[in-house]
Structure 1
Amino acid sequence: MDVFKLLSRTSKATPAPSSQKLPSSGAVANPQLFGRDAAEGPHANARKSRKRKRGQDKTDLPAELPVALDFFGGASQPAQHTEKPTQKGRGQGTKSEQHQDGALETASPEDMEESAAEEDYDEDERKRILRAHKLKIVILEDYKVQEIDSRDRGKEKKKRKKDKVEKIERDAKAKKKERKKEKKQLFPRPLTDFAQLRTAYGISPRLAENIKEQGYKVPTEVQLGALPLLLSKRRDGGRSEISSTNGHDSADTDVGGDFDLLTVAPTGSGKTIAFLIPIINSLLSEEKASSNAKGPRAVIIAPTKELASQIVNEARKLARGTGIKATLMRKGVEVVKRPEEDIEDDVDTLGTSSEEDRSASDSEAGKRTAKKPKGRRRRADVVKAAILVATPLALLNALKQQGGEVSQLPSIRHLVLDEADVLLDPLFCEQTLAIWTACTSPLLRVGLWSATMGSNIEDLTMQTLNSRWTSLASSATESLPPRHPLIRLVVGLRDTAIPNITHKLIYAATEQGKLLGLRQLLHPTATASSETTPWLLPPFLIFTQTIPRAIALHSELLYDIPPEAGGSSRIAVLHADLSSSAREAIMTRFRRGEIWVLITTDLLARGVDFRGLNGVVNYDVPNSAAAYVHRVGRTGRAGREGGVAVTFYTKEDIPYIKNVANVIRASENLRGTKSGDGEGEVGGGESIKGWLLDALPTPTKREKQMLKKRGVEARRRVKDDGGKGTMRISTKSGYDRRRDNNLQGAKSASRGRVDGGAGPRAGKVDMGSESDFEGFGE
């Protein structure tokens, strides 16, 4: 022990990072974000309160003693230990029921599963549990009513005067409030344990075993509400386990799993498992009903290849041993079997073969065969897996025919849009809607899942459902099944970051200040205060606005990690310009822990699951509030606490930073309702003060649109102005940068002369290219 260090300690020293609870420490026992007391059972709170009121804390202790040592228990107690437990409501304060609780704890897992399945909740208990977990499930109103009302309001506004228009607007607001009141809110039976999937909902035994092998025990909020909805079946008499409000009986809203679901849940809450389990279970039941079921019957669309690959891996884990296959859409693979005329290309345009080639003999087979002409394309393999995961463009290219038409997919029964707000954004909207329209089955069930979902996405969803159903009804030759409703499930507050991480908003003034602040996170000092500079241990992600900035930041930090810790091999950059194999290799190394710091763009901001990620650094401010929610959601997955999200902003970001500040304030308010004011925690307390929100300017609607589309304009390009660029990622002056670049160019020219004069000329190199500088030293 170093005595000098021991004596030089102060009472206000920053706690060591090893003493903190980090996401990389491992999984937590309860991955839920809200209502953890309610997860213990419907009467958990009542049981605790009754024990405190009646003073039974002291009387509970003798019941745990062995019978031979319990001298004051009486003669009736040994008989109570052997009493067979009966199915009663939990939380009673009598001794006999406490002994029954002890007997249940020593019972076999099968008995516990049966008891969990037999336990049911009345409507009041369902409401209490769902509200404790901040779950709200409603049936959305018809979009046609809103469309007609908005059209009429537009006509009336043009015709009438100002006072008439105001009256119309008041009437429209009143109608909107009435429609909100008419929304039926549903209260399905909550899923309190994954063991109930087998006993209460009758899923496949092999699927239940795979879920247990993956370690899923306590469901998260989205699983607690979505799985009972998607797995619910109609009971005898057409009734299901779903109750509604507003005076409607459960039979009036008996959806029984026949509906489309729009889900808004926080990042890292297990949405992938929530939609994969019902799909696999449904496909298994369909295979039992029809033995000739082949080809894809479920399509899952994701915006990036990384997310699509992750979904395939999770699907394969859950479907192991069931016969259900999941595959990733790749080039050269077809979804539907094409006719011969579509496979053969035009011979005149692609080249013809000679007469000798067409009449060549096959000596081995002993018969005449015609060789394929050069213009003919080899028939690609057709997807045979039941679950197909793809990006929109890859799947649409596989469905397109020669004339530009899109092939229909009548066999698809399940369509899932993961990160639906991006897939229905203008970037992917046309491709996604084309795939959606190609699924012509009237039994199609659509699921839209994301952590952020605007009202425009809901309107577009309902409009698409209405137009699709109208086209199906007009072209149908037989009677269609009854139309199913659209249900919306919301967990917590919409468009809000998860509350179990620490948010830090740091003003760095300039680009050089951001780089210094980032290096301070990489090399924290013992005197740094936890309130101003949080501990950020690897692994963590660094997000930049553009690909050139990510490459430049990687070049600047390449040698910041000492060789004793692995050196430059511990830091990497990942962006869309890399090949698929290179991206997969970097992702694999990062998941294995070989890479500690990964610099990337918004390519990894959505859906990708890094369970042990300790933090996220927004080197450049996100383009929108939704982008911030998804970026910081890479840490704190599945209820893990201790994650840190640091955001740097400069003078150029001040007009846009209020969006991020509002999200952080809402997340901290949500955290305060769950775990107090955060005092005593590392980085606890409010980081966004009221005076800061008042001082920050509010961006206009146009500014928000331009920021979302192009980002901060000053960072889109860095001009070569003699080393005076203020947006350059570097701490060096223009003179030093010119000197280093000239030296680098001289070295490259010298190597070129040695290799035969093929190298670049000595002298100046392009100073506007930040990615050329890789540091010095062999």
Structure 2
Amino acid sequence: MTFSALGLRPPLLSTLEALAYLQPTPVQKQAIPAILAGRDVLAAAPTGTGKTAAFALPLLQKFSTTVPDAPGVQVLILVPTRELAEQVMAACKRYAAALDCSVYAAYGGVNTAPQIQRLAAGVDILVATPGRLLDLFTRGALSLRAVTTLVLDEADRMLDLGFAADLEVIFQALPSTRQTLLFSATFAPEINTLASRRLRKPLRIEASPRPKSVPAIRQWVVPVDKKKKTALFLFMRRDRNWQQILLFVRTRQSCEALLARLHELGISAATLHGERTQAERQAALAAFKAGEVDILIATDLAARGLDINALPLVVNYDLPDQAADYIHRIGRTGRAGLTGEAVSLVCADEAPRLAAIEQLLQKPLARDEEPGFEPQHRVPPTAPGIPARTHAGKNLARANKISGRSNWVDEFAPSRSPARPGARHATPTGSPRKGGGRGR
């Protein structure tokens, strides 16, 4: 099937051809005709399914072929994070290259004055986070009376972040007659409840990630005691010559504590979390993309909406609270046909989270214990058929190979311990390792 068969018109088709969009994805095949026909849509569409194009393309066509009843924002797209707002805005602008349509993004963490000024000049499609949208609305800088279509993108994440009350206020401010499109990673109960209250006989779509995205990412788990996670990460980074790492933790406090430890060791790193201003977040991401810092430590705020070319590695220092967030985290690697690697450092009390992730993936994740870091508190089995691979016979040599020191002492103690008999020296930086992780 081609995009023209879905009812898209020449200006958009020419743009898609220039962007090398050859065939629609499953969610696009179902959503585009329904949206063009004016239907509400409820879609479970995770990262990698082409969901942004699924709603943006038909909405752009409808806007370009319809005379608005009133001036003002015609399409409102709500997203949970600033990064996703920027990404969706950029995608809409790419698709609208041949159309006379203005697209803008408004989000918190930056001065409201430029946003108020831009809205006053006129915006057709507005991408916004709920909090900043309400701020602009209550200031009188924005009217929602002309909105004909509302899109809730990553609706599950918005509810997770506590935007439920904000969404209720926004719904009250919108025209009662409108088209509503709700996209979520899963059909969680709260999503079904929201849809039953706010959507009119929606087309229900369930899209899976593209098959090629699964084998493109090598996923595995390293069991470890919680107190040794940092030492394990630092050892694996050096042992495998990891260069560019997106490292996920659960809390802002963990972000800053780990950043301080890395800086103590002279390792370049930056953080990305909700307490940083937008300018700080953009600067951290830009430095990471440019290779000025080796490690970007992020909370799940950054799991959705980050686009990093050729990112080789994602490390889950902590497993996320929500299994769906694991999918979004690892989706930052293995993009655009490239391969990637996703490593999770898992301690015993994270076993329930690991089980939830494996249930969502419908497969067990391989476990590979790192010699010298075998946990005293074993991670219990989470699914049948997950052997914990060990390296009997190589443990002593590998665990003590760094100049005869143990991994733990090597990373945290400045003094050098005497070399043990028979210990091997470290693999020189940049030397290839059989079975090791990706370098650059």
Give the TM-score, by structure 2 length.
Answer: 0.75
- With over 3 angstroms needed to count, the CA separation of the structure-2 counterparts of 1:301 and 1:269, relative to structure 1, is same
1:397 aligns with 2:135: yes
- Matching of residues 218-229 of structure 1 within 5 Å: 218-229=23-34
- Per-residue deviation at 1:610? 3.0
1:363 is aligned to none
Matched position secondary structure for 2:152: strand
More helix per residue: 1
- Per-residue deviation at 1:667? 7.5
1:217 is aligned to 22
Between the aligned partners of 1:457 and 1:295, the Cα distance in structure 2 is 29
Matched position secondary structure for 2:193: helix
2:62 is aligned to 282
1:648 is aligned to 345
- Matching of residues 143-162 of structure 1 within 5 Å: none
Between the aligned partners of 1:656 and 1:502, the Cα distance in structure 2 is 19
Is contact 1:498-1:633 (8 Å) kept?
no
Is contact 2:73-2:125 (8 Å) kept?
yes
- Per-residue deviation at 1:293? 5.5
2:355 is aligned to 658
1:267 is aligned to 47
Between the aligned partners of 1:457 and 1:381, the Cα distance in structure 2 is 30
1:438 aligns with 2:173: yes
Is contact 1:300-1:415 (8 Å) kept?
yes
1:413 aligns with 2:168: no
- Per-residue deviation at 1:668? 7.1
Q: What is the aligned counterpart of 2:224 among 505, 508, 511?
A: 508
1:452 is aligned to 186
1:524 is aligned to 239
- With over 3 angstroms needed to count, the CA separation of the structure-2 counterparts of 1:691 and 1:385, relative to structure 1, is closer
- With over 3 angstroms needed to count, the CA separation of the structure-2 counterparts of 1:537 and 1:263, relative to structure 1, is farther
The structure whose RCO (Cα within 8 Å, separation 6+) is larger is 2
- Matching of residues 686-697 of structure 1 within 5 Å: 692-693=382-383
Matched position secondary structure for 2:65: helix
1:614 aligns with 2:301: no
Between the aligned partners of 1:667 and 1:416, the Cα distance in structure 2 is 35
- Per-residue deviation at 1:298? 0.4
Q: What is the aligned counterpart of 1:319 among 96, 104, 112?
A: 96
Q: Match of 1:490, as an amino acid?
A: E
- Per-residue deviation at 1:521? 3.1
Larger radius of gyration: 1
Is contact 1:268-1:636 (8 Å) kept?
no
- With over 3 angstroms needed to count, the CA separation of the structure-2 counterparts of 1:193 and 1:594, relative to structure 1, is farther
- With over 3 angstroms needed to count, the CA separation of the structure-2 counterparts of 1:306 and 1:334, relative to structure 1, is closer
Structure 2: 5+ residue stretches without partners? 367-378, 387-409, 416-440
Matched position secondary structure for 1:636: coil
Between the aligned partners of 1:548 and 1:690, the Cα distance in structure 2 is 27
Is contact 1:268-1:634 (8 Å) kept?
no
- Per-residue deviation at 1:449? 1.2
The Cα RMSD (Å) is 3.5
1:744 is aligned to none
Matched position secondary structure for 2:359: helix
Between the aligned partners of 1:323 and 1:407, the Cα distance in structure 2 is 21
Q: Match of 2:282, as an amino acid?
A: E
Is contact 2:223-2:345 (8 Å) kept?
yes
2:113 is aligned to 332
- Per-residue deviation at 1:280? 0.8
1:296 aligns with 2:73: yes
Is contact 2:38-2:179 (8 Å) kept?
yes
1:564-601: CA deviation from partner (whole Å, max 9, x where unpaired):
xxx73xx3222222222121122233334444421111
Between the aligned partners of 2:239 and 2:150, the Cα distance in structure 1 is 48
1:461 aligns with 2:195: yes
Q: What is the aligned counterpart of 1:588 among 286, 290, 314?
A: 286
Q: Match of 2:130, as an amino acid?
A: P
Identity %: 30
2:163 is aligned to 428
Between the aligned partners of 1:601 and 1:501, the Cα distance in structure 2 is 20
- With over 3 angstroms needed to count, the CA separation of the structure-2 counterparts of 1:636 and 1:193, relative to structure 1, is farther
1:201 aligns with 2:10: no
Between the aligned partners of 1:580 and 1:218, the Cα distance in structure 2 is 36
Between the aligned partners of 2:318 and 2:380, the Cα distance in structure 1 is 24
1:360 is aligned to none
Is contact 1:573-1:598 (8 Å) kept?
yes
- With over 3 angstroms needed to count, the CA separation of the structure-2 counterparts of 1:219 and 1:695, relative to structure 1, is closer
- Per-residue deviation at 1:652? 3.4
- With over 3 angstroms needed to count, the CA separation of the structure-2 counterparts of 1:294 and 1:545, relative to structure 1, is same
Between the aligned partners of 2:89 and 2:101, the Cα distance in structure 1 is 12
Is contact 1:267-1:634 (8 Å) kept?
no
Between the aligned partners of 2:22 and 2:224, the Cα distance in structure 1 is 44
- Per-residue deviation at 1:383? 5.3
2:261 is aligned to 556
Is contact 1:408-1:440 (8 Å) kept?
no
Matched position secondary structure for 1:394: helix
Q: Match of 2:59, as an amino acid?
A: I
1:546 aligns with 2:236: no
Between the aligned partners of 1:283 and 1:667, the Cα distance in structure 2 is 46
- Per-residue deviation at 1:538? 4.3
- Per-residue deviation at 1:310? 1.3
- Per-residue deviation at 1:554? 2.1
Q: Match of 1:582, as an amino acid?
A: E
1:58-100: CA deviation from partner (whole Å, max 9, x where unpaired):
xxxxxxxxxxxxxxxxxxxxxxxxxxxxxxxxxxxxxxxxxxx
Is contact 1:266-1:498 (8 Å) kept?
no
- Matching of residues 76-155 of structure 1 within 5 Å: none
Matched position secondary structure for 1:409: coil
Matched position secondary structure for 1:433: helix
- With over 3 angstroms needed to count, the CA separation of the structure-2 counterparts of 1:589 and 1:210, relative to structure 1, is farther
Between the aligned partners of 1:284 and 1:380, the Cα distance in structure 2 is 21
Q: Match of 2:138, as an amino acid?
A: K
Between the aligned partners of 1:193 and 1:226, the Cα distance in structure 2 is 14
Q: Match of 2:230, as an amino acid?
A: L
Q: Match of 2:23, as an amino acid?
A: V
Is contact 1:410-1:440 (8 Å) kept?
yes
Between the aligned partners of 1:202 and 1:269, the Cα distance in structure 2 is 19
- Per-residue deviation at 1:432? 1.3
- Matching of residues 358-369 of structure 1 within 5 Å: none
1:221-277: CA deviation from partner (whole Å, max 9, x where unpaired):
32233223323xxxxxxxxxxxxxxxxxxxxxxxxx221111112312221121111
Is contact 1:267-1:498 (8 Å) kept?
no
Is contact 2:152-2:182 (8 Å) kept?
yes
Tell me the matched-pair count. Answer: 375
- With over 3 angstroms needed to count, the CA separation of the structure-2 counterparts of 1:609 and 1:436, relative to structure 1, is farther
1:160 is aligned to none
Matched position secondary structure for 1:263: strand
Is contact 1:334-1:399 (8 Å) kept?
no
Between the aligned partners of 1:691 and 1:596, the Cα distance in structure 2 is 34
- With over 3 angstroms needed to count, the CA separation of the structure-2 counterparts of 1:275 and 1:524, relative to structure 1, is same
1:629-673: CA deviation from partner (whole Å, max 9, x where unpaired):
2222222335x352221111123334543223433443879xxxx
- With over 3 angstroms needed to count, the CA separation of the structure-2 counterparts of 1:408 and 1:327, relative to structure 1, is closer
Between the aligned partners of 2:193 and 2:65, the Cα distance in structure 1 is 33
